[in-house]
Amino acid sequence: MTVTSVHKDPEARSLTFTADFAAPVERVWQIWEDPRQLERWWGPPTWPATFTQHEVKPGGRSHYFMTGPEGEKAHGWWQFTVVEAPTTLQFDDGFADENGEPAPEPPAVHATVTLTATNDGTRMVISSTFSSLEHLEQLAAMGMEEGMREALGQVDAILAE
């Protein structure tokens, strides 16, 4: 598995995933930038993602939905705040209705992705900051940690192609 650590920090209201990949930073960046690659790993294997909009630029938006085992759909959105290719992404991430419009609850999460070159490839750190400790606990109870572990576990196969 590519996930090397998960750190939950209640004081900072954050959940941070660290994963290492045997690929250069520029290649790992592509799995975020290319929606066809992103949808192959964003979400656990039983809830694959489909991106219908993906504009990786400051102010750009993404809309996606994940399809569950029974055909149910969970919609989400991203609003990019920082894009510094090929090392840094920041975006707000929230639930959406079927048209991609942000749902009022729960609040959006702010995500920061950093890609750093290592001797063996790339270290990816994904840090999510929540509006409150209750918000963090709510999404943790929904399976966010397990889902991200499963999602990141799919990246190696994509990078190996």
Tens digit of pLDDT for each residue in 57-114?
999 999 999 999 999 999 999 999 999 999 999 999 999 998 888 998 889 999 999 9
The counts of H helices and E strands in the chain are: 5, 8
Give the per-residue pLDDT at 17.
Answer: 96
The pLDDT of residue 18: 97
Rounded Cα gap, residues 159 and 60, in angstroms:
25
Total domains in the chain come to 1
* Stronger pLDDT, 117 or 139, i.e. the higher one: 117
Residues of the domain holding 60: 3-159
- Residue in the block written with tokens 């809309």: 63
C-alpha–C-alpha distance, residues 53 and 75, integer Å: 12
Residue range 13-55, pLDDT digits in tens = 999 999 999 999 999 999 999 999 999 999 889 999 999 999 9
Contact assessment for residue 145 and residue 6, using Cβ atoms and an 8 Å cutoff: yes
What are residue 90's phi and psi, to 5 degrees?
A: -135, 140
* pLDDT value for 1: 45
Return the CATH number at 118.
3.30.530.20
pLDDT tens-digit map of 123-143? 999 999 999 999 999 988 888
| Residue 117 and residue 5 in contact, taking contact as beta carbons nearer than 8 Å | no
With tokens 């592509």, the residue in question is: 30
Task: Note whether 20 and 118 are within 8 A (CB).
Answer: yes
pLDDT score for 98: 86
Alpha helices in 39-105 (DSSP H): none
pLDDT exceeds 50 at position 119:
yes
